[in-house]
Amino acid sequence: MKTAENNIQYVLMEIKAIHHSDKIFGNYIERSKKYWVDYYNKNEYRVNELEKQKIFDFDFVKQVYIYAEELHLIDRSVKLINESLEFIEVHNYAPELNKAYFKNGNKVNCPNVFDNVQLLEFMYKKYSAPELFNMILAWK
């Protein structure tokens, strides 16, 4: 068999073999596994160029669990932001002055943001998932 086939097959086999017993967090693990399987399938040529030892040494379980934790934090942050958002102040002729106001009195400058979806995208570009989650928790 070709080395290239073995590399990608080994990576996909390792990811698909990850098991979980937690029903709640299991959803995030499954989403994470799907993401990484898709990622490696799209980047198959890169995986095929790697040395076998590097692939064998890599911790795929850790990679899947870290991304699953990030997905969990994102979902929790979205829920918290939607619950605590009071309104978005929109300036039609100066969108760079737009601000989001929260029920606890905090406000965030969010240029060119006009709705909740854009606000969430803006905040995830500005902060990492753990930073954003901790910031929102501190507001409560």
Q: pLDDT tens digits for 7-58?
A: 888 999 999 988 887 777 888 999 999 999 999 999 988 888 888 889 899 9
Distance CA 131, CA 124 (A): 9
Band of pLDDT at residue 63, cut at 50, 70 and 90: very high
Question: Given strand 99-102, what is the order of strands in its sheet?
Answer: 85-89, 99-102, 107-109
Q: For the residues of 28-63, what is the DSSP string, one character each?
A: HHHHHHHHHHHHHHHTHHHHHHS-HHHHHHS-HHHH
Pairing of strands 99-102, 107-109: antiparallel
Return the pLDDT at 127.
84
Q: Which of 140, 138, 53, 63 is nearest to 104 (CA)?
A: 140
Query: pTM value?
Result: 0.74
Domain residue limits, the chain: 3-58, 78-139
